[in-house]
C-alpha cells in the first residue's frame, strides 16, 4: 500500500521568525497527537514534508531533526551542480542543509519563470543525482480544461519532462497533479475530477513502466485543498495525498489536512 504524503508549499511567505513559529507549532501538534494516539494510529499518519523558502531550510530542518516527524524540501533547484549562476541554488546545496525533497515544475515556475519540460528534465536529473526526492508538478490551465484538452496537456508534461527516466529511477519520483485554475483561487477540482486525472496518470505510468511500478508511485493532488475538502479529495483510489499552498501556512488547518490523509 502506498503511504500518503502531505506536503506544505509555503511559497514566498513568512519571515524567519514566523517560519520557525509555524514549524514549532506543527511539531507540538504532531507530538501531542502521537502521545495521545495508540501506536497503531501513529503509523497511520502520512509522510509530511514542508517546503519553506531556501533561506529557511537549515533552520526549519533543525526544528525536526531529532524527532523526524517532518521532512523538509526546497521549492526549486538549479539544474547545474555549481558554477557562475548568481542567485541560483544547486541540488547539492539543498541536500547539504538536510533537506530531502525538492519541487520541480510548480506551475508558478512554469508560468512566471518560463520553465519548460526540457529544463525541468535537467533539474530532475540534478535533483536525483543528489538523492533528493523530486515532486514533479503537472496540471492544465482553465482554457485547457474548458477546451477538453486537459488530459493531453498533462500527458505531454509527463512524457516530455518525466518519462525519459528509467524504470528504477521513476520509483523515486512523486507526481503532483495541480490544475492551474485551482491553485490559490479557492476553486477546487471535484473529487471525481481529481480521481479521473490521477487514474489517467497512473494508466500512463502503467503503459510506460508496467503495472507494478505504476502502483508504487505516489500521485498528490494540489489546488485549494483545505481541512474541509481534503478527506473527500484523498478518498480517490489513485490520490495519495496533497500538495498544499495557502492552507499549509496555519498549523491547525494544515494538521487538519494531515489527519485527513491517515491511512
* Sites for ligand PEP among residues 234-263 (CB under 6 A): 243-247
Considering the rule CB under 6 A, would residue 184 count as an interface residue with ligand PEP?
Answer: yes
Considering the rule CB under 6 A, would residue 222 count as an interface residue with ligand PEP?
Answer: yes
DSSP percent split of the chain into helix, strand, coil, nearest 5 = 50, 15, 35
Number of residues that bind ligand PEP (CB under 6 A): 13
CA–CA gap between residue 139 and residue 182 (Å, rounded): 10
Q: Which of 61, 78, 79, 106 is catalytic?
A: 106
Contact 101, 51 (CB under 8 A): yes
CA 185, 174, 91, 117: dihedral to nearest 10 degrees? -70
* Sites for ligand PEP among residues 1-60 (CB under 6 A): 9
The reply to whether 178 belongs to the active site is yes
Among 140, 178, 238, 240, binds ligand PEP (CB under 6 A): 178
What is the closest distance, in whole angstroms, from the C-beta atom of residue 222 to ligand PEP in the complex?
3
* Of residues 141, 239, 155, the one with CA closest to residue 190: 239
Closer to ligand PEP by CB, 126 or 179: give it. 179
CA–CA gap between residue 6 and residue 255 (Å, rounded): 10
The reply to whether 211 belongs to the active site is no
Residues within the interface to ligand PEP (CB under 6 A): 9, 178, 183-184, 222-225, 243-247
The catalytic site residues sit at 106, 178
Amino acid at each position: 500500500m502506498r503511504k500518503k504524503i502531505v506536503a506544505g508549499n509555503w511559497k514566498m511567505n513568512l519571515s524567519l521568525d514566523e517560519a520557525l513559529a509555524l514549524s514549532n507549532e506543527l511539531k507540538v501538534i504532531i507530538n501531542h497527537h502521537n502521545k495521545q494516539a495508540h501506536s497503531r494510529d501513529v503509523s497511520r499518519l502520512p509522510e509530511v514534508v514542508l517546503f519553506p523558502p531556501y533561506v529557511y531550510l537549515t533552520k526549519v530542518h533543525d526544528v525536526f531533526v531529532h524527532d523526524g516527524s517532518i521532512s523538509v524540501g526546497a521549492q526549486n533547484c538549479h539544474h547545474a551542480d555549481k558554477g557562475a549562476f548568481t542567485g541560483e541554488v544547486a541540488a547539492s546545496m539543498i541536500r547539504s542543509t538536510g533537506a530531502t525533497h525538492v519541487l520541480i515544475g510548480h506551475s508558478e515556475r512554469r508560468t512566471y519563470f518560463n520553465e519548460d519540460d526540457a529544463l525541468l528534465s535537467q533539474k530532475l536529473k540534478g535533483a536525483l543525482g543528489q538523492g533528493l526526492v523530486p515532486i514533479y508538478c503537472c496540471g492544465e490551465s482553465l482554457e485547457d480544461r474548458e477546451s477538453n484538452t486537459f488530459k493531453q496537456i498533462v500527458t505531454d508534461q509527463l512524457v516530455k519532462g518525466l518519462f525519459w527516466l528509467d524504470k528504477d529511477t521513476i520509483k523515486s519520483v512523486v507526481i503532483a497533479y495541480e490544475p492551474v485554475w485551482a491553485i490559490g483561487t479557492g476553486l477546487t477540482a471535484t473529487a471525481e475530477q481529481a480521481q479521473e486525472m490521477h487514474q489517467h496518470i497512473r494508466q500512463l505510468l502503467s503503459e510506460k513502466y508496467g503495472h507494478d511500478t505504476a502502483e508504487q508511485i505516489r500521485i498528490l493532488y494540489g489546488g485549494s485543498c483545505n481541512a474541509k475538502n481534503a478527506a473527500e479529495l484523498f478518498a480517490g483510489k489513485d490520490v495519495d495525498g496533497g500538495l498544499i499552498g495557502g492552507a499549509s501556512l496555519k498549523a491547525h488547518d494544515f494538521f487538519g489536512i494531515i489527519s485527513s490523509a491517515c491511512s
